[in-house]
Structure 1
Amino acid sequence: MRPFGTLAALLLAGTATGAHAQFSGDAGPGGQDKPRAATDAGGGEGKRPRAQRQVDVSPYLSVDQILTADLKNGGDVLTYTTVAVGVDATVVTRRVELSATLRYEHQFGLSAGLGDQDVISGLARGNLQLLRGLNLEAGALATRTRADGQGADNGIITGRSSNVANLYSVYAGPTLARKIGGLDVGAGYRFGYSKVDVETPALLPPGAVAQDVFDSSTNHSAWASIGARPGDLPFGWELSGGYEREDASQLDQRYEGKYATAGVTVPISRTVALLGSVGYENIEIGQRDPLLDANGVPVLDANGRYVTDKSSPRKLSFDTDGLIWDAGVMWQPSRRTSLTASVGHRYGDTIYTGSFSYRADHATMVQVDVYNGLSSFGRGLSSGLSALPTQFDPARNPIGGEVDPCVFGGEGGSCLNNRIGNATSAQFRNQGVQAVLSSRFGGWSYGVGVGYDRRRLLTPRLSPIANLDGIIDQSYYLFLSAGRRLDAESDLSLSGYLNYFDNGSPGVSNVQSAGLSATYSRRFWRGLTGSAGASLDAFDQNGFNSELIGSALVGLRYNF
């Protein structure tokens, strides 16, 4: 919880370094990434200048021929053709910032048993300045993820893939950050919607107990704050409050949380401030039981989801009501460097949170975030999208075409690995750390994202699925990308990933996957570009054959 990171930034900006201040933190009742009242798109008090004006909208048509082969088990060599239409966009004006990559493709299976399929994918993040200090923010994601973290998945999604879920998520809402009569006022609202379609239920190893697969949810989050910097008083103060609710279709699940806090921030030097807060929170999470068959076993539908017993009462899986507090410190020695760390009591537990950012130069940015809170698949996606920069370089897997899980740009970057790695419908206690580096050096542009995420599932202890309560899933991930313009007509891009999923279910083995890819592109004539790419992906999990998949691609793309 960092409810006074906002005030500290304002205080240090106004009394010490003059650095840009923004509303941020996880002061919302969900404990995860409260949306910012003044974003990178500008419009708030004391905002940095916008980037240079840029409007680049590039619709395209592409045709690719792809070959994949199992290099370890003597599997079939599969070939298929994709025809895709899409658009990549970057817009920076006085009032608008937007980055987006959207794509629809149809895959024609050319090998026996490899069926045709349609794929929609994309990522967008934008901000519109409505009035001075008042912004409208939005984001959207369409991609594929694993339906069940325990199931097999080699990272190559074709017509034969199992354990695949199509994921769609969107969020939008206004944010306000203004100085009114000597007071710093902030407020905002965010609506989010997420949906998962399962293509084929997960194939699980022997003895594994299936987790319920997320279906859809809506979430609402509203917050407000008012405070003042030191002046008449030797310290700053802030009052804040918020409300959040999520309704999920699976098992008629409901999350409801509210909080109110009051605190002070005391600058002790030009670069250091002490933070402290005390308040109240009330959070309840509940759901109905799954329908049971004659043998007392939960009934699953065709997509592997629990069928809800509408006649059962809603039971609580988490309930807390009482005092919360935190204490911390913020260090901001220059415009380029900021560090915040805090310890507190929330969710009935002691929590530690923090953040660090460092801009070495105009092209290099390092960000580290330590988080701890309550989350879910739907609410996590909304907060994850809101944390993405509004200026990023759209990038995709050269073979599968999916949007890369990490995005990088001139204002930093962020990764969605910890949001989309497992489409569980359960609410969970969530903690972890993520670090992102984005830079340009020696003609290369590159980005690195690395992180650790821990989830402890929450289900009612007296429900038929009480065996899932307390299961701890842990994931470790690394993603890197690099690109370089070789000459006026050609480019080279590289990417790699390493994922390790440590499943807490009894008798279930861990999942490891890794991959590397390279793509060379050359412009032939006007908007016509040819490309050639190759990738190598490895997957290993007990109960399944380990795999080493080699893939190659040749294609043409025309930008209109």
Structure 2
Amino acid sequence: MRYLNKCLVAMVAAMAVTTPVAAQEGGDRAVTLQPYIEVSQIVSAELSPGSETLTFTQLAAGVDTAIQGRNSGASVSVRYERNIGYGDDSVDTDTVSGIARGYLSVIPQSLTLQAGGLASRTRVDGSGAVSPNPLVSDDATSEIYSGYIGPDFRTRAGAFEIAGNARVGYNRFEANDAVFNSAGEQVDIFDDSVTYSGRVAVGTRPDDLLPIGVAVSAGGFQEDLSNLDQRVRDVYVRGDVTVPVSPTLAIVGGVGYEDVEISSRDAVRDADGNPVFGDDGRLITDSASDRLLAFDVDGLLWDVGVLWRPSSRTSLEARVGERYDSTTYYGTFTYVPSSRSSFAVQVYDGVSGFGGVLNNSLAQLSSDFTAQRNPLSGDFGGLVQSEDGVGLINPLGSIRSAAFRGRGVAASYQQRIGRLNAALGIGYDRRTFIAAEGTALAGIDGLRDESYYITGSLSREIGRSGVLAANAYANRFETGGDENGDLTAFGASAAFSRTIASRLSARAAVAVDYFDSEFTDEDFATATALLGLRYDF
């Protein structure tokens, strides 16, 4: 029962804490601080549809930090980049990108403060399709910002374990231009949102009081979107039981009550009754209009499944049931055969807006990671690597403003063999949008956007002072709202760096990127090369 009991404890805590962080058992505080500056010369040649060649200078400054102590830990990767072009059609951009995740134990083993943040550059196509890997020479880019903070707590009262969390988050998307679909209709894209969530659970393990495990939990989630004053609210209370079948297998099940509401106001209308867009490309909310329900479900929720842990290296939880007034599936599988290898799969289902997906992805990351960046642009493509495995920021997919039900599956794999280090993320994401009748978004109610994606990295140390690294990605976006709105994007890059003096290294990189946009009926392809120097302080 040893492995199963450990897993049951984790399950009770997971009902209340999305990302528990275990403090180190001992040892001194480990701090890695790596500030740097870079200067590079970049040549980018357009292969399709034209043949323009751009040359520009890239200046960058950043810091990669990892802090791991007995009662705190954090990883931060932040970079500022300035591209200076030449000529009338030159590249001239300023970009800040980064990702951070950390925790601080206020009361060791009992109360922990969690926080995370993201700043990322992205490219928006027609119908709101988003790629996290914009062309290095593309001025038409947008910025995504996300962050959250909140406490986790855990304690015991006799045979009962009590755990919970609370957090608040903020998310923003800054677009340079309005977005139009192939029919010439303007698409309302996400602006900003505030999220709130909280959970608490009380439970016992089998044999503490009863031969089965019992837990009671309650929680809620709310996202307030600025677009048409949308509100996503989901509250629930439930009870769960865990019935051991063998030392490594248990049957789990739960039943409870949920109340889910999605509502919004309408847009300001002109004299002809058409919705009005503002200068920022978003619909102008009519704050005097009534709040209209788009989704309203309250009643029974339930699920059943299995919990299997044959060893400390392998864990599976899979459930099927009813939620949101329909069938739901979710679960996780992890396999960690050694400290150098890991594999994980997650199946998910939930309702939120665009910001809720970002906040949840950040909260699931480890606090000790290395961010994988494009070696030419410095962009963060959503992949991080840590001893806990590969972390993925949920694929951006669609930037539409409406709330949605998101379902999908994500898998990750990492392997270290000597000096070789590899990481891979792959998955599928489907968003079914929900909008109220009589509002400006009513036309996309029930519309489905789907994303398929794969991203990976490979690096190897060469000798004592060289590093060879490669990155690749492929994304496929399909929308039911525009027959010409699909997008395919893929690319690959390779970089080599070598120390030439104390703290000074030379860098060389090449990349090819390709976008097949049915919206423009044109293919965009570029080849880019970089030569530069980096100084690590």
The alignment partner of 1:385 has SS state of: helix
The one-letter amino acid of 1:399's match is L
Aligned counterpart, 2:88: 112
The one-letter amino acid of 2:337's match is A
Aligned counterpart, 1:169: 146
Relative to structure 1, the CA distance from residue 70 to residue 364 in structure 2 (aligned partners, 3 Å threshold; closer, same or farther) is: same
In 2, the alpha carbon distance for the partners of 1:146 and 1:49 equals 44
Unaligned runs of 5+ in 1: 1-11, 29-33
Aligned counterpart, 1:330: 307
Q: Residue by residue, what CA displacement relative to the aligned partner does 1:47-85 show, whole Å, maximum 9, x if unpaired?
A: x85798531101111112111111133331012212111
The alignment partner of 1:322 has SS state of: strand
In 1, the alpha carbon distance for the partners of 2:407 and 2:338 equals 31
In 2, the alpha carbon distance for the partners of 1:173 and 1:468 equals 34
The alignment partner of 1:505 has SS state of: coil
Any residues of structure 2 matched to 1:56-135 within 5 Å, and which?
A: 56-131=32-107, 132-135=109-112
* Residue pair 1:147, 1:201 contacting (<8 A) in 2 also: no
Matched, 1:451 2:427: yes
Matched, 1:464 2:464: no
From 116, 140, 144, the equivalent of 1:139 is: 116
Q: State the superposition RMSD in angstroms.
A: 2.2
Aligned counterpart, 2:198: 222
The one-letter amino acid of 1:491's match is V
Stretch moving more, 486-495 or 294-303: 294-303
Stretch moving more, 313-322 or 297-306: 297-306
Aligned counterpart, 2:286: 309
TM-score (norm 1): 0.90
Relative to structure 1, the CA distance from residue 426 to residue 362 in structure 2 (aligned partners, 3 Å threshold; closer, same or farther) is: same
Query: What is the deviation of 1:90?
Result: 1.2
TM-score (norm 2): 0.94
Q: Residue by residue, what CA displacement relative to the aligned partner does 1:481-537 show, whole Å, maximum 9, x if unpaired?
A: 011110111101100001000111142342101100000001111111110000001
Matched, 1:361 2:315: no
Relative to structure 1, the CA distance from residue 237 to residue 390 in structure 2 (aligned partners, 3 Å threshold; closer, same or farther) is: same
* Residue pair 1:170, 1:382 contacting (<8 A) in 2 also: yes
Relative to structure 1, the CA distance from residue 301 to residue 18 in structure 2 (aligned partners, 3 Å threshold; closer, same or farther) is: closer
* Residue pair 1:329, 1:340 contacting (<8 A) in 2 also: yes
* Residue pair 2:44, 2:137 contacting (<8 A) in 1 also: no
Query: What is the deviation of 1:179?
Result: 2.6
In 2, the alpha carbon distance for the partners of 1:452 and 1:52 equals 41
Aligned counterpart, 1:508: 484
* Residue pair 2:3, 2:309 contacting (<8 A) in 1 also: no
% of aligned pairs identical? 36
Matched, 1:437 2:437: no
Aligned counterpart, 1:281: 258
In 1, the alpha carbon distance for the partners of 2:398 and 2:406 equals 13
The alignment partner of 1:282 has SS state of: strand
Relative to structure 1, the CA distance from residue 334 to residue 210 in structure 2 (aligned partners, 3 Å threshold; closer, same or farther) is: farther
In 2, the alpha carbon distance for the partners of 1:22 and 1:111 equals 60
Aligned counterpart, 1:3: none
Q: Residue by residue, what CA displacement relative to the aligned partner does 1:325-373 show, whole Å, maximum 9, x if unpaired?
A: 1111111000000011111111111101111000021110101000111
Relative to structure 1, the CA distance from residue 169 to residue 498 in structure 2 (aligned partners, 3 Å threshold; closer, same or farther) is: same
The alignment partner of 1:305 has SS state of: coil
Query: What is the deviation of 1:178?
Result: 2.4
What is the aligned residue count?
Answer: 533
* Residue pair 1:165, 1:196 contacting (<8 A) in 2 also: yes
Matched, 1:549 2:526: yes
In 2, the alpha carbon distance for the partners of 1:501 and 1:18 equals 37
In 2, the alpha carbon distance for the partners of 1:152 and 1:271 equals 44
Q: Residue by residue, what CA displacement relative to the aligned partner does 1:364-406 show, whole Å, maximum 9, x if unpaired?
A: 0101000111121111111100011112112211122111311
The one-letter amino acid of 2:165's match is G
The alignment partner of 1:383 has SS state of: helix
Relative to structure 1, the CA distance from residue 376 to residue 151 in structure 2 (aligned partners, 3 Å threshold; closer, same or farther) is: closer
* Residue pair 2:225, 2:353 contacting (<8 A) in 1 also: no
* Residue pair 1:205, 1:544 contacting (<8 A) in 2 also: no
* Residue pair 1:280, 1:322 contacting (<8 A) in 2 also: yes
Aligned counterpart, 1:483: 459
Aligned counterpart, 1:21: 10
In 1, the alpha carbon distance for the partners of 2:192 and 2:7 equals 44
Q: Residue by residue, what CA displacement relative to the aligned partner does 1:164-223 show, whole Å, maximum 9, x if unpaired?
A: 321111111111122331211101111111111112233x45316443211111111111
Relative to structure 1, the CA distance from residue 97 to residue 472 in structure 2 (aligned partners, 3 Å threshold; closer, same or farther) is: same
Relative to structure 1, the CA distance from residue 102 to residue 541 in structure 2 (aligned partners, 3 Å threshold; closer, same or farther) is: same
Unaligned runs of 5+ in 2: none
The one-letter amino acid of 1:314's match is R
Any residues of structure 2 matched to 1:147-162 within 5 Å, and which?
A: 147=124, 150=127, 155-157=133-135, 160-162=138-140
